[in-house]
Structure 1
Amino acid sequence: MFLGIDVGTFESKGVLVDRDGTVVAAARRRHGIDTPAPGWVEQDPEDAWWGDVCEIARDLVRQSPAAERIAAVAVSAIGPCVVATDVDLRPLRPAILYGIDTRATAQIERLTAALGEDEIVRRSGNTLTSQSAGPKIAWLKDEEPGVWQRARWFMTSQSWLVAKLTGEVVIDHATAGYFHPLYDLSAGAWDVSGCEDFVDAARLPRIAWTTETAGAVTAAAATITGIPEGTPVIVGTTDSPAEAVGSGVVSDGELMAMYGSSGYFIRVGDRPRPQDGLWSAPFVFEGTYVLASGTSTAGTATRWLADLLGLAGEQDELTFSRLIDLAHQSQAGARGVLALPHFAGERTPFQDPTSRGVLIGLGLEHTRADVARAVLEGVGHSIAAAILALCAGEAAVSRVVAIGGATQNPIIMGTVSTVTGLEQQVTDSPGAAYGNAFLAALGVGAVERPDEVRGWVREKERVRPDEGTRALLIADHANFAALYRALAPLQHERAR
């Protein structure tokens, strides 16, 4: 059997899977985020990450009468995060999260000016954005020099968890590719030239491929997790590539649309395809690459909306069911109300951490249902914009596979398919944890080829464009982009 655990923004999940892809045990644990200042998004690694991994692993082992048959373990987590630790792997401060944390704007501007945008793109295949881990390490040097000075390692989420399990400090190429400008995409190696004032390669993890073995579960980790000592642990990756694998997206031209707390979209390719405003990085298998885009809010916006409208129930399923039912009392186009759901800035295609949420077109005739519909459609417009950015270049998309909690929201899903014109295949995969289980199996040779994962994954439904609302929603989408452009100068001024 193969154990996969994924640590998400608000929840961690784990599965124990047999070699045929059958889930024999599952567990989950919720946690929160901290926002101690505007633009800051943090988590406590010990509680939110390691605590989740230990509890979920113990739960899975308890559920299975044959835990000794666990052949390999894989862990993924949100990323790219920045975790500064001492030599004993103790975090020196809360972890700085991925692109939803926008604190390093000044460092992005300074590094871009110092290195030159052309050199940054040549080296890393990307410009610097809030998704880049390098500027966040520079922020630590500038703003918390005591922490920076004491730090032995600058890691990301799953590399720290793998180190806790095995004692080995290692990061996969797919995640290292987001530590721009510190990773050379063509060389597949650290390159800190021009950045020596805030980091050196000796303080960064060793780089390896996702399915390589990082090490084995130590005696100490076995005691606290229940995973047998000596069990191989693969290098692992962040949640998004693991989600892609878990949804069966492993081949050139396939696109994974992850509808999570934020939106993240991966198009798999056979070579790097750097494109302005998108992220280019290695994928989890040697010789494969991704072109990626992302939004800052998706599920977080719907949770905010449900809370704002007083729809929260004892269970998430009830909360979101109430929200969808309310939105269905309105109609496509929300009777003229349009939302810009930039509650935490926006990533693709605007790359603007200062943008904020907007409702336009409100009149006395509008209801709570119209507001609910407008925000849900706004999330759909945001996701559609990020997907269309991926389709705009030379990287054709042959298949779209959708995964994540918000795939259960027909208004968001319908808006995306209708605006983009793309059919979406929704899978019943348990998500990134399931992808991790397959990667663990691949890592120890229990399966031989990446495309064998398609035998594990089953399609649940297909979402197609709605021709009846297509003209209306495409017009709204044009207005959505125009609304951002019109308000951006005012938003920037208010941010200053």
Structure 2
Amino acid sequence: MAYTLGIDIGTYETKGVLVDESGTIHAQAARGHKMLVPHPGWAEHRPEEDWWGDFVFICQTLLGESRVDPADIKAVACSAIGPCMLPVDAHGAPLMNAVLYGVDGRAEAEVRELTDRIGEDTIITRGGNALTSQSVGPKILWLKRNRPEIFANTAYILTSTSFLVQRLTGQAVIDHYTAANFSPLYDVATQSWTDDLADGILPLDKLPRLLWSNEIAGQITPKAAEATGLAVGTPVTAGTIDAAAEALSVGADQPGDMMMMYGSTIFIILRAQSQVSDPRIWYAPWLFEGEHASMAGLATSGTLTHWFRDQLARDLDPADAFPVLAKEAAASPPGANGLLMLPYFSGERTPIHDTLAKGALFGLNLTHTRGDMYRALIEGIAYGTRHVTDTFAELGQSPTRLLAVGGGTKNELWVQATSDITGIDQIVCEKTTGASYGDAFLAALAVGLVARGDIAKWNPAERTVTAQAAPIYDTSYDLFRRLYEQTKDIAAEIM
């Protein structure tokens, strides 16, 4: 039997699966970690403990539980949150905590400066994306200005997946899908690194080598084999960002397919026919040469449900709190008895790109219950999601089918509210394991064990969540949009 290994590093949890060539999962494991918030608007991980430490733990657990001979594992693929910014020295050692993706807004001043200097139209034309908190280029400039001693010792700027692949193979590589988020250092037309838009941010030889996600980056080194238990010489793919692997796991791989990932954040990927560049959304080459994707993401989604549980449901056992909260929310009618929540607890990414946006619970009176508040939270996330899907529609990019994935799909209230508010049906596949399962498929694809279309056999559709009309949602959505517009100036002044 031939096996592949997939491991994904998420914002709060690492997951891994060991899968055979038919798609059967023989072992799976998970391990939690924390997102550090050392300063309002910042978000960090510890690369040694949260990334490599988790990776090693998951490898050892999967091998121990499955008793599979490491020699029978034909390939390894990993994915992780991204795009992140991590400076490492010449030995690959991290020089600081990793700066996370768009939930970290520390480089707001650099985003504005580079946009003003280069021009937004030029940035979008050359890089495919406007500069936002999701962009790595401004964060590198922030590093250069604010941590000059670290910058001086930097041999490479890696992202999360690059760091793992380097630990496994000794090779500093990055996939094109992730690299497109390094704007203004990546040119989408030539699909190569460039410094002609912003010379002086970083020497290009400090960026990883570009590969496609199904290409082999290298092989497991003796040192990595000793740490993980994997066999020396096992092929390792270039990998990708978690959301892309998540899309692959449910077969959102054909033009017109849209993946909606219910995780710590809502993340959306649309497989597009061609490049779609608009400052409200993101663009990247897809995982395979010659293909395209458009992306969008909220800043806080599942993270908000955890915040609510920890702060407003302390009377409940944390292990059982979410089913209780869901039952309370289900007793509240659509529209949450007039409550509105802005879910911008870490600013917001698409489509408003406002790092200074704030969360709000509006419309409270003495009759409201915790169930009303929790329902308003769920609906607020769904309104934010509709803002994204409406933006895609305005760009002529409505999906032909939408596939939902991620741990949040187990929250029936959330998924149903999202369909009802967006008006879009959602397909939920048999396996909602997510990115790690997509990684295992990508590894199998890279070494020729499967063809791309085989994902439909690995993970067939299980159910469809059908949108149900609720007229109050159109009214509430309009109020949601107006609430943000009428309070954003105040939010920007609150420190």
Q: TM-score if structure 1 supplies the norm length? A: 0.97
For 1:386, give the aligned amino acid.
Answer: V
User: Hey, what does 1:475 align to over in structure 2?
Assistant: 475
User: Hey, what does 2:168 align to over in structure 1?
Assistant: 165
User: Hey, what does 1:340 align to over in structure 2?
Assistant: 342
Task: Map Cα deviations across residues 313-358 of structure 1 (whole Å, 9 max, x no partner).
Answer: 6554x22112211212322111111111111111112110101111
For 1:293, give the aligned amino acid.
Answer: A
**SS in structure 2 of the partner of residue 177 of structure 1:** helix
For 2:60, give the aligned amino acid.
Answer: R
User: Hey, what does 1:490 align to over in structure 2?
Assistant: 490
Which of the residues 201, 220, 223 maps onto 2:223? 220
User: Hey, what does 1:198 align to over in structure 2?
Assistant: 201
Quote how far apart the aligned CAs of 1:456 are: 0.7
1:210 aligns with 2:207: no
Structure 1: distance between partners of 2:282 and 2:4: 31
1:126 aligns with 2:117: no
1:2–1:70 Cα contact (<8 Å) kept: yes
1:291–1:390 Cα contact (<8 Å) kept: no
Task: Map Cα deviations across residues 146-178 of structure 1 (whole Å, 9 max, x no partner).
Answer: 111111000100011000000000000000011
Pick closer, same or farther for the CA change 1:386–1:72 going to 2, 3 Å. same
For 2:50, give the aligned amino acid.
Answer: A
Quote how far apart the aligned CAs of 1:360 are: 1.2
For 1:476, give the aligned amino acid.
Answer: S
1:280–1:292 Cα contact (<8 Å) kept: yes
Quote how far apart the aligned CAs of 1:122 are: 1.1
Task: Map Cα deviations across residues 11-41 of structure 1 (whole Å, 9 max, x no partner).
Answer: 0000010000000111111100110001110
User: Hey, what does 2:370 align to over in structure 1?
Assistant: 368
1:306–1:312 Cα contact (<8 Å) kept: no
Task: Map Cα deviations across residues 55-113 of structure 1 (whole Å, 9 max, x no partner).
Answer: 00011111223322000000100000001000101000000000000110000011111
Structure 2: distance between partners of 1:219 and 1:420: 51
Which of the residues 272, 279, 301 maps onto 1:269? 272
**SS in structure 1 of the partner of residue 78 of structure 2:** strand
User: Hey, what does 2:143 align to over in structure 1?
Assistant: 140
Quote how far apart the aligned CAs of 1:312 are: 7.2
Give the alignment's Cα RMSD to 1 decimal. Answer: 1.2
For 1:473, give the aligned amino acid.
Answer: Y
For 1:114, give the aligned amino acid.
Answer: R
**SS in structure 2 of the partner of residue 451 of structure 1:** helix
User: Hey, what does 2:117 align to over in structure 1?
Assistant: 114
User: Hey, what does 1:279 align to over in structure 2?
Assistant: 282
Quote how far apart the aligned CAs of 1:391 are: 2.5
**SS in structure 1 of the partner of residue 353 of structure 2:** coil
2:186–2:192 Cα contact (<8 Å) kept: yes
For 2:168, give the aligned amino acid.
Answer: L
User: Hey, what does 2:296 align to over in structure 1?
Assistant: 293
1:462 aligns with 2:472: no
Which of the residues 305, 311, 330 maps onto 2:332? 330
Count of equivalent residues: 491
**SS in structure 2 of the partner of residue 71 of structure 1:** strand
User: Hey, what does 2:355 align to over in structure 1?
Assistant: 353
For 2:75, give the aligned amino acid.
Answer: A
1:154–1:204 Cα contact (<8 Å) kept: yes
2:17–2:27 Cα contact (<8 Å) kept: yes
User: Hey, what does 1:40 align to over in structure 2?
Assistant: 42
Structure 2: distance between partners of 1:183 and 1:314: 47
Quote how far apart the aligned CAs of 1:419 are: 1.8
Quote how far apart the aligned CAs of 1:409 are: 1.8
**SS in structure 2 of the partner of residue 224 of structure 1:** helix
In the alignment, structure 2 segments of 5+ residues that lack a partner are: none
Structure 2: distance between partners of 1:20 and 1:270: 30
**SS in structure 1 of the partner of residue 181 of structure 2:** coil
Which of the residues 224, 230, 233 maps onto 1:230? 233
Structure 2: distance between partners of 1:488 and 1:160: 37
Matches within 5 A, 1:364-443: 364-427=366-429, 428-443=431-446
Task: Map Cα deviations across residues 405-432 of structure 1 (whole Å, 9 max, x no partner).
Answer: 1112222222211122110011223110
Quote how far apart the aligned CAs of 1:273 are: 1.2
Structure 2: distance between partners of 1:320 and 1:193: 50
In the alignment, structure 1 segments of 5+ residues that lack a partner are: none
Structure 1: distance between partners of 2:423 and 2:371: 26
Task: Map Cα deviations across residues 264-294 of structure 1 (whole Å, 9 max, x no partner).
Answer: 0000023211123100101111111111111
Which of the residues 142, 154, 158 maps onto 1:155? 158
2:382–2:422 Cα contact (<8 Å) kept: no
1:28–1:56 Cα contact (<8 Å) kept: yes
Which of the residues 45, 51, 70 maps onto 2:73? 70
Which of the residues 170, 181, 186 maps onto 2:184? 181
Instruction: Tell me whether 44-53 or 417-426 shows the greater mean CA deviation.
Output: 417-426
